[in-house]
Structure 1
Amino acid sequence: MAAQCIDQPNPPPDPSQLPDSMLDYRVQTGTGYVISASELDSVRKFRRAANYIAAAMIFLKDNVLLERQLTFDDVKPRLLGHWGTCPGLVLVYAHLNRIVKKTDLDALLVVGPGHGAPAILSCLWLENSLAPFWQPYTRDRAGLTRLITKFSAPGGFPSHINAETPGCIHEGGELGYALSVAFGAVMDNPQLVVACVVGDGEAETGPTATAWHGFKYIDPAESGAVLPIVHVNGFKISERTIYGCMDDKELIALFSGYGYQVRIVDDLGSIDQDLATSMEWALGEISRIQHSARSGSPIIKPRWPVLILRTPKGWSGPKELHGEFIEGSFRSHQVPLPEAKTSEEELQMLQAWLSSYHPEELFTIGSGEGAVDGAPVTDLLKIIPDNKEKRLGTRKEAYAAFQPLDVPDWMPFGIERGLEASCMKTIGNFLREVIKENPSTFRIFSPDELVSNKLDAVFDVTGRNFQWDVTSSARGGRIIEILSEHTCQGMIQGYTLTGRTALFPTYEAFLGIVHTMMVQYSKFTKMARETDWRHDVGSVNYLETSTWARQEHNGFSHQNPSFIGAVLNLKATLARVYLPPDANCFLSTMAHCLKAKNYINLMVGSKQPTSVWLSPEEADRHCVAGASVWKFASVDDGIDPDVVLVGIGTEVTFEVIAAAALLRKHLPALRVRVINVTDLMILGPHGSHPHALSDEDFDTLFTKDRHVIINYHGYPIEVKGLLFGRPGVDRMSIEGYREEGTTTSPFDMMLCNHVSRYHVAAAAVRAGALFNQKVSIEAHEKASFIMHLAQKDREYIQRDGRDPDGTFDTPVFEDAMKEQKK
C-alpha cells in the first residue's frame, strides 16, 4: 500500500482549508474569468493537437494521423523522448499565444525542462514557426510527417530543445539555469516579458535557488520583466520532487519570503480559465510596477508575480500499466509505454491514448475545397498571433538582435613602457569609457569582486544595479554584483543571446564553479553557428584575475587555474585563451574581445602592479601576432640562440625576464632568446585551431632544434596537450602551477611551483650547454650556484616573512636599452 501511495498524484489541498490571509493568493473559481468561450474552445483544441503531436513524435514512424489501426511497423525502433512534462508546457504555450494575440505583448518563452522538446516543437509547428527557419517542416501533411517521424532520429530534431529550435535562447539540458537566463534576457529590453517555465525538478538545483533573487537586479524603468511559472507535477525521473511534496501554504510562504506575489493555478476542471486569468493578473502587476518606475514614482521593493502551476505528470497520457500508475507518477517521465514496439497490450494502449485526442477533428484529411492536407483546422489557430513577428518562435530577440559595441580606441589609455601598472586598474579605466559609449548594450556581471579586482574605475560613470538596496534602487546601473557565479553566468547567457555584450570578471580560483554551464553554452553556440538563420552574437568574455600567483595571502584554497583547461577543451572555432603579459597588452586584448563575435574568450591577468614591457604600439603588434621575440631581453636580439625561454602569463613572464637578466650577469656566454606568448592557441599544431602557427612560423619563432624552456601560468599538461603533434616536442620542458601553495610570500609561490627565475635560469644553463661549449664547461657549477641562490631566498622568506628587497624590481638590460636608443 505504501508504494502505491507514493506513485499517486499529490492533490492540492482544498482552498477552504487555507487561512483567510492566503485566499488572495488563489484565483477564485466560478466567475470572473477573462477568457471568452471562443478563445477557450481554440485553446483546448490547440492543446489537444499539440499533445497529440508530442506523443506521436516519441512513438510513430508512420501512420502519423492515425488513419488506420496502429501496427508494430508504425512504431519507431528506438523510443526516445520525455512525455511527462509535455502537457504542462503545451498548456503554458497555448495561453501565451492567446495573451500575445489579445494584448500584442512582446514575449519570449524560456523553458527549463529542455527535454520537453516534443511539446515545444509541436507548438512551433502549429503556429507555423518552424517552416520559416526549416523549410521541410511545412504546416501540412509532409511537414507533420517529417516532424513526427524524424524526431530523435538521424536527420531530425534532437530530443532536447537546443539552438536548432526557433525561439530558443536556453537549452535546458543541464537543469538549473533557465531563470537566470530569463533575467539576463530582459535587461535593457524594456518592452519584453520573458515567461520562464521552471520545472519542480529543476527547482531543486542550487543555481535555481539563487536565481529566484534575480528580479532584485531588474530596474523596471530600464528593463523588461520575467514571469516565472513553476511547473509542479510532483516527480522527476524516478522520485518525488521537493516542491511536489510541499503544500500550498509552504510554497506561498517560500515565494513570499523571496519577495514575490504568488498565484496557484491547479483547478484541473477549469485549468484554462484559471491560467488565463492568472496570466492577465500577472501582466497587470508587471505593468503596474513598470508604469510606476517609468513615471518617476518607483515602488520600493516591488513584488513581482510568480505562478505555481500544478498539473499531473504525464497528464492526458496512459493512466495505468500492469497495476502501476503512469499518469501522475514518475513512470510518465520519459516513455510511458516502453514496449509499444513489441507488446500487443502496449500497442493497443498507445492506439487508445492517441485516439483520445481525436486527431480527425484537429487536422484536415485531404485537400478538397482549398484545404491543405494534414494542416491544423482553423478553430485551433484562432489564438495564434496574426503578426508573425510576435509569435514565440519568431521573435528576433532570440536569433537576430546583435548590437555591436562601440569600442573606444584603447591607445590613449596606454602606459609608458618601463613604468609599472596594474593590468586591472588600467582595464578599469578603459571599461569606464566602454560603459559611457554603450549605455544600454554592455553590462558587467561579477560575483562581488569588482573592487577587489581593482576594476572600480567603472563606478565613476555607473553604479551597482541592486533594486532592493535603498541606495541603489531606481538608479539603473551597468554593474550586477551577486555572490553566485551560476547566476552571473546565466544572466550573461540571456543578455548575450538577445544581442548585447557582457564581461564576467572574477577570482580565478572560483570560475570553475560555472565550468559545465560554460560548456553547455558553448554547445548551444556551436549548434547556432551551424544553422543558416541564427545571426551573430557577442562573445562571452571571462576575465580571470586574483590569480594563484598573487593569492599567497588567501592561501591554497584560492589557487586554481583550471578554467583555462576547460576552455581549451571546447571546439576550436569557439575557444580563445589570452594571457597578456602587461597592461598595454591587456588593453589591446580587451578591446579585441569586446568586438569579437561568437567566441568564448578567456583573459587571464594580474591586478597587482607589474612591469610594462611594451609600448602601446609594440603591444598591439605583439597581440596581433599572438607571440613574439622580446629582443630587449634576448642576447643579440635573439639571433642564433643556444636556448629559448618562453613566458606565458604575467607573473611567470616576469620570472623569465628576471632569469634572462640573471644569466647575463652570471653566464654571459649563453645566448638566450626570450619569447612571450599572449595567445595560447597559437601553440597547437597547424590546423588544430584558427590561430595555430604554421609549422614554418613555429620553427622560425621557437627554432627547429634548440631546447625550449616554457614558464606557464596554468597546469603544464595543458601546454603539453597543445604542443602534441608538433615536431620535436621532446626538446621542450614546461613548468607551471604544481598545486603547491599556502599563505606565504609572492616570490615563495614562484619558488614552490618551480617557476621562479632560478628554476628557469638553471634549466636554461643545462639546455644551452648542449649547444655551446663555453657554457658546457661550467654548466654544472653555474646551475648549482643559481639553485643555491634560490635556497638562500627561500631561507630568507621563511626567516623574515617577506621577499628579499628588490625581488620584483624590473630587470634592466643596459646594453639592449642602449642599442634601442641608438
Structure 2
Amino acid sequence: MPKTPHQDRRTTLTNGELRALDAHWRAANYLTAGQIYLLANPLLTEPLTGAHIKPRLLGHWGTSPGLNLVYTHLNRVIKARGLDALCVWGPGHGGPAVLANSWLEGSYSETYPDVTRDVEGMARLFGQFSFPGGVPSHIAPQTPGSIHEGGELGYSLAHAYGAALDHPDLLVACVIGDGEAETGPLAASWHANKFLDPVYDGAVLPILHLNGYKIANPAVLARLPEPELDELLKGYGHAPIHVTGDDPVQIHRALAEAFDRSLDRIALLQRTARQERGNERPHWPVIVLRTPKGWTGPAWVDGEPVAGTWRSHQVPLAGVREKPEHRRQLEAWLRSYRPEELFDAEGRPTADVLACIPEGARRLGATPYANGGLRTRELPLPPLDDFAVPADKPGVTLHEPTRVLGGFLAQIMRDTATRRDFRLVGPDETASNRLDAVFAASGKAWQAQTIQVDEHLDRHGRVMEVLSEHLCQGWLEGYLLTGRHGLFSCYEAFVHIVDSMVSQHIKWLKTSRELPWRAPVPSLNYLLTSHVWRQDHNGFSHQDPGFVDHVLNKSPEVVRVYLPPDANTLLSVTDHALRSRDYVNVIVAGKQPCFDWLSLDQARAHCARGAGIWDWAGTENGDGDPDVVLACAGDVPTQEVLAASDLLRRHLPELAVRVVNVVDMTRLLPREDHPHGMPDFEYDGLFTTDQPVIFAYHGYPWLIHRLAYRRTGHRNMHVRGYREMGTTTTPFDMVVRNDLDRYRLVMDVIDRVPGLGVRAAVVRQRMADARTRHHAWIREHGTDLPEVAEWTWAG
C-alpha cells in the first residue's frame, strides 16, 4: 500500500521566506532574459554594448516570468513537505525559464559539467541558448527534468496524468498556458481526473497560467470573467483556487497560500482514499494564476505598450544591437533585477537565491521520474508457448489473431498486478478489438458514476479507455517516459488523429538517444486492428492504412513497422516490441478469423528474419531463379497471395513460383537507410534481380515502391494495395475493388512473365470471368462466392 502523503499546513510567509522567494524569482528572470539577449558580459560588470548582444535574437519572454514564479514556489513546497515531484511545462517556448531554474538549482551543471554554476557557466548558458550548436528555445529532451516536448501545444495535461498513473507518491504539477488551453486535446484532458485513482496513482496539480494573450490575439479563457471560468473548472470536476495580480509581494503571498491549500487538499483526498477507502470521486484542486504577459519586462517600446500585451510574446526589444535607445532599455531592464544582490563576484547564486531549493533528487531538474529509463524494470513476459495456436498444417485452421494476443496481454496484466507498471490504452475499443481477455486480469480505470449495467469498470483498473485518441496517446507517452510499459490499441483508420503527436514523440526519442545521460525508455507500441480490409461493414470512412506511411517517413533509428500474417507471428512480434526500448513500434494485425500459416517456432524464425521465402507455398524446385515472385505483407494480402499461388499450382503447374512474406516492413529498405534494412545481396537473393515480382501489400502500394526504388530489380516490381476504392460491401469485394484479389494477382503473373501471355490466355480469361461472377454473386446473395468463403490451403 502506498504511503499517505505528509500534511503540513502553511498559509503565511515569514519576511525571510518572502525575501528568499523573491530573490530566486528575480534571479530566474534575469537568467531568462540573459539567455535571449546576451553573448557576453553576463553579470553586467561593464556597460552594455552591441558586441555583448547576440546577432540573432530568438526566444520567448512573454510566458517566462510566470513559469519562473511557479518554479520558485514549487521549490518551496517540495522542500518544505519533502515531496517527490515532477513538473510538465505546457507553454510552448518557456525553455529559457526552465533552463534558468535548473541552472540555479545545480541540476543543469550536474548534467552538463561544462556549464558550471559560476560566471563562466552563466556565459555558456546564455551563449548556447537558441544558438547554432546549442539548445532549442523550447523545452526539449536536452532540458533536465523534462518529459514534454514544448514544440507543439495541447498535450501537457495528458502527459501529466500519464506520469502520475501508478506513481502513488508522486506530485505532477502541470503548467497550462492560456493558448494551449484552447486546443482540443487539452480540453479533453480536463476529463482525465475521472480516471485517476487516488489509492494507487499520484496526484496531478494543474496550474492554468492566464497571461492574457497568445502570439497576437487574446486568449479565450483569460477573457472569461472569473465566476464563469470558475464554473467551467468546477464543471470539469476541479476545485479552483484563483491567484491574480501584478504586485510581486502580493503574488508571492497569494501563490504560497494557493499551493499550501492545494497540497493540503490533495493530502486529505489521498488519505481518505487510502486509509478510509472512500468511494466518492475526488475533486482535485486547480490553481488559476493570472499575471501579465511579459511581466517585469519593458513597459513601453518605441511608444507602444509591451508588458501586459501580445507584443511581449517573443523578444520585447528587437533592435538592441543597432539602436542605442533599445540597448539602454535592455540594460535598465536587466539591472532592475539587481543582479549584484543575486550573484556574487564569481557569478555564484547567493544564499537567499538558493534558500528555497530542495536537495538532491527532489530538485525538479534532477528528478529520476523525468529520466524514466532509470526507473524502468524489465517487463515479466510469459512464455509464448502458453498462448500459441497449433498450426500443424498451414492454411487449414483459423484464429482471431488479436483474441489470441488478448490472452497474452491478460497474463502480463496478472503478472504486473502488484508492481503496476503495465497499461493498455485505447479509444473505447478493447472489446471490439478482441482484447477483452484482459478484463479477467484488470478492469477499466473509472472514478465516475457507475450503474448496474456497466461492465468491467474498476476504480483500480489498468485498462484505460476514453474516446479520445489524443488523450490515450498522451497518457501512454507520460507513462512510458516515466519508466513504465504499455500498448495502444486502436482502429487503423483513426490512429491518424495522433499523427502529429507521434511525430513529436519520435523526435523526442531520436534526440534522447543522442544524450548519454538519458536512459532508454520502453517503446511506444501501437496495435492497429479493425483494419482497412475488414472494415467492409463500416465502409469507406473506416478505411485508411496510411499511418504506416506517416511513421516510415520518420527517423529510421526510432521507427519499426510490423505486419504479422497470423496469430503466432503477432505473438512473436508483440513479445519483441514489448521488450524493446526507445522505439515506436507499429503492429498492424486483423481481429477477424485468419488462417494459421506458421507454428510458433516457425513464426519466431520468420519474425527474426523479417522477410523470408515460404518454400511450402511456392512451386520452385531450387533449380535457378523462379519464373515469378509473389510477395506479400499483411494478413489479407498474404491470404490472397497464397490463394493465387494455389490457383497457379492448379492451372499452370509448370510455372516456378516463389512466395515471399514480409513481416518487418523496414527490411525492404537498404541497410544504409535503416538498421533493419537488407543489404543488396540479401534482397536480390530473395526477390531476384530480373524476374517479375507481384507484391500484394496491406496499404497504399506506392509505399513499397518508395522503400525499394533503389533496388536492382525494382523495375520488375508491380505492387497491388489499397487504392481508395472503399465502400460498404463484402470482405472479398474489398480486395476485388482494389485489384488485390487472387484472380487479379494470377492475371498479373500471366501479364508479366515473359511468354506466358499467349500460352496462358485461357487461364487469364477464367480469372477475369471469376471476377465477373463475383460481382454478380454478391449483388444477388450479399455474401462472397463459396469458392472464396470456403477456400483453404490445399498445398
Q: Normalising to structure 2: TM-score of the pair?
A: 0.96
Q: Hey, what's the Cα distance between the residues in 1 that align with 2:643 and 2:59? A: 60
**Contact 1:611/1:810 (<8 A) preserved:** no
Counterpart position of 2:360: 388
User: Structure 1 residue 764: deviation in Å?
Assistant: 1.2
Give the partner amino acid of 2:522: G
User: Structure 1 residue 721: deviation in Å?
Assistant: 0.9
Counterpart position of 1:726: 711
Q: Hey, what's the Cα distance between the residues in 2 that align with 1:32 and 1:129? A: 27
Q: Hey, what's the Cα distance between the residues in 2 that align with 1:636 and 1:267? A: 81
Q: Hey, what's the Cα distance between the residues in 2 that align with 1:38 and 1:779? A: 95
Matching of residue 424 in structure 1 with residue 408 in structure 2: no
Counterpart position of 2:370: 398
Give the partner amino acid of 2:598: L
**Contact 2:12/2:257 (<8 A) preserved:** yes
User: Structure 1 residue 436: deviation in Å?
Assistant: 1.0
**Contact 2:691/2:713 (<8 A) preserved:** no
Deviates more, 1:182-191 or 1:156-165: 156-165
Matching of residue 272 in structure 1 with residue 245 in structure 2: no
Deviates more, 1:353-362 or 1:231-240: 353-362
Once the two structures are superposed, the pairs formed by residues 336-375 of structure 1 within 5 Å of their partners are 336-365=316-345, 373-375=346-348
Counterpart position of 2:3: none
Give secondary structure in 2 for the equivalent of 1:406. Answer: coil
Matching of residue 619 in structure 1 with residue 603 in structure 2: yes
Matching of residue 703 in structure 1 with residue 680 in structure 2: no
The change in CA–CA distance for 1:227 and 1:492 in structure 2 (over 3 A counts) is same
Matching of residue 715 in structure 1 with residue 700 in structure 2: yes
Give secondary structure in 2 for the equivalent of 1:57. Answer: helix
Counterpart pick for 1:603 among 569, 584, 587? 587
Counterpart pick for 1:495 among 457, 474, 479? 479
Give the partner amino acid of 1:165: T
Give secondary structure in 2 for the equivalent of 1:747. Answer: helix
Counterpart position of 1:511: 495
Which consecutive unaligned segments of at least 5 residues does structure 2 have?
Answer: 1-8
Counterpart position of 1:458: 438
**Residue deviations 1:72-107 (CA, integer Å, cap 9, x gap):** 111111000000000000000000001111110110
Counterpart position of 1:65: 43
Once the two structures are superposed, the pairs formed by residues 528-547 of structure 1 within 5 Å of their partners are 528-547=512-531
**Contact 2:246/2:292 (<8 A) preserved:** no
Give the partner amino acid of 2:109: A
User: Structure 1 residue 32: deviation in Å?
Assistant: 8.2
Q: Hey, what's the Cα distance between the residues in 2 that align with 1:688 and 1:761? A: 33
The change in CA–CA distance for 1:661 and 1:316 in structure 2 (over 3 A counts) is same
Counterpart position of 2:666: 681
**Residue deviations 1:100-153 (CA, integer Å, cap 9, x gap):** 111101100100013111111111111111011111111111110100122111
Give the partner amino acid of 1:676: N
Counterpart position of 2:301: 321
**Residue deviations 1:622-681 (CA, integer Å, cap 9, x gap):** 111111111221004665410000110001110000001111122222211111100101
**Contact 1:537/1:598 (<8 A) preserved:** yes
Counterpart position of 1:559: 543
**Contact 1:631/1:638 (<8 A) preserved:** no
Deviates more, 1:602-611 or 1:664-673: 664-673
**Contact 2:487/2:524 (<8 A) preserved:** yes
Counterpart position of 1:643: 628
Q: Hey, what's the Cα distance between the residues in 1 that align with 2:472 and 2:115? A: 36
Deviates more, 1:89-98 or 1:626-635: 626-635
**Contact 1:638/1:673 (<8 A) preserved:** no
Q: Hey, what's the Cα distance between the residues in 1 that align with 2:441 and 2:713? A: 52
Matching of residue 780 in structure 1 with residue 761 in structure 2: yes
Q: Hey, what's the Cα distance between the residues in 1 that align with 2:389 and 2:511? A: 41
Counterpart position of 1:379: 352
**Residue deviations 1:280-339 (CA, integer Å, cap 9, x gap):** 111111111111111142241210000000000000000012222100000000000111
User: Structure 1 residue 265: deviation in Å?
Assistant: 0.5
Q: Hey, what's the Cα distance between the residues in 1 that align with 2:282 and 2:480? A: 26
User: Structure 1 residue 798: deviation in Å?
Assistant: 2.2
Counterpart position of 1:581: 565
Counterpart position of 1:467: 447
User: Structure 1 residue 799: deviation in Å?
Assistant: 2.6
Q: Hey, what's the Cα distance between the residues in 1 that align with 2:533 and 2:276? A: 48
Counterpart position of 2:144: 166
**Contact 1:685/1:724 (<8 A) preserved:** no
Give the partner amino acid of 1:248: E
User: Structure 1 residue 155: deviation in Å?
Assistant: 2.4
Counterpart pick for 1:524 among 485, 490, 508? 508
Counterpart pick for 2:381 among 395, 407, 421? 407
**Contact 1:522/1:574 (<8 A) preserved:** yes
Counterpart position of 1:653: 638
Q: Hey, what's the Cα distance between the residues in 1 that align with 2:490 and 2:764? A: 39
Give the partner amino acid of 1:794: H
Deviates more, 1:469-478 or 1:47-56: 469-478
**Contact 1:766/1:780 (<8 A) preserved:** no
**Residue deviations 1:321-366 (CA, integer Å, cap 9, x gap):** 222210000000000011112112211111111111111111111x
Give the partner amino acid of 2:490: T
**Contact 2:293/2:308 (<8 A) preserved:** yes
The change in CA–CA distance for 1:57 and 1:766 in structure 2 (over 3 A counts) is same
Give the partner amino acid of 1:801: G
**Residue deviations 1:187-244 (CA, integer Å, cap 9, x gap):** 0100000000000000000000000111111111101010000000000000000011
**Contact 1:637/1:673 (<8 A) preserved:** no
Q: Hey, what's the Cα distance between the residues in 1 that align with 2:574 and 2:416? A: 15
Give secondary structure in 2 for the equivalent of 1:811. Answer: coil
Once the two structures are superposed, the pairs formed by residues 216-255 of structure 1 within 5 Å of their partners are 216-255=194-233
User: Structure 1 residue 35: deviation in Å?
Assistant: 2.2
**Contact 1:540/1:600 (<8 A) preserved:** yes
Q: Hey, what's the Cα distance between the residues in 1 that align with 2:157 and 2:597? A: 45
Give secondary structure in 2 for the equivalent of 1:635. Answer: coil
Give the partner amino acid of 1:379: D
The change in CA–CA distance for 1:761 and 1:310 in structure 2 (over 3 A counts) is same
**Contact 2:564/2:573 (<8 A) preserved:** yes
**Contact 1:414/1:584 (<8 A) preserved:** yes
Counterpart pick for 2:282 among 289, 299, 302? 302
Q: Hey, what's the Cα distance between the residues in 1 that align with 2:743 and 2:350? A: 80
Q: Hey, what's the Cα distance between the residues in 2 that align with 1:347 and 1:210? A: 44
Give the partner amino acid of 2:251: I
Give secondary structure in 2 for the equivalent of 1:195. Answer: strand
**Contact 1:147/1:156 (<8 A) preserved:** no
Counterpart pick for 2:133 among 155, 162, 168? 155
Which consecutive unaligned segments of at least 5 residues does structure 1 have?
Answer: 1-30, 366-372, 815-822
**Residue deviations 1:366-414 (CA, integer Å, cap 9, x gap):** xxxxxxx1111111111011x3111000011111222221111112211
Q: Hey, what's the Cα distance between the residues in 1 that align with 2:503 and 2:621? A: 42
Give the partner amino acid of 2:515: T
Give secondary structure in 2 for the equivalent of 1:710. Answer: strand
Counterpart pick for 1:213 among 176, 191, 194? 191
**Contact 2:10/2:260 (<8 A) preserved:** no
**Contact 2:443/2:458 (<8 A) preserved:** no
Counterpart position of 1:736: 721
**Contact 1:404/1:538 (<8 A) preserved:** no
User: Structure 1 residue 469: deviation in Å?
Assistant: 3.2
Give secondary structure in 1 for the equivalent of 2:445. Answer: coil
Give secondary structure in 2 for the equivalent of 1:309. Answer: strand
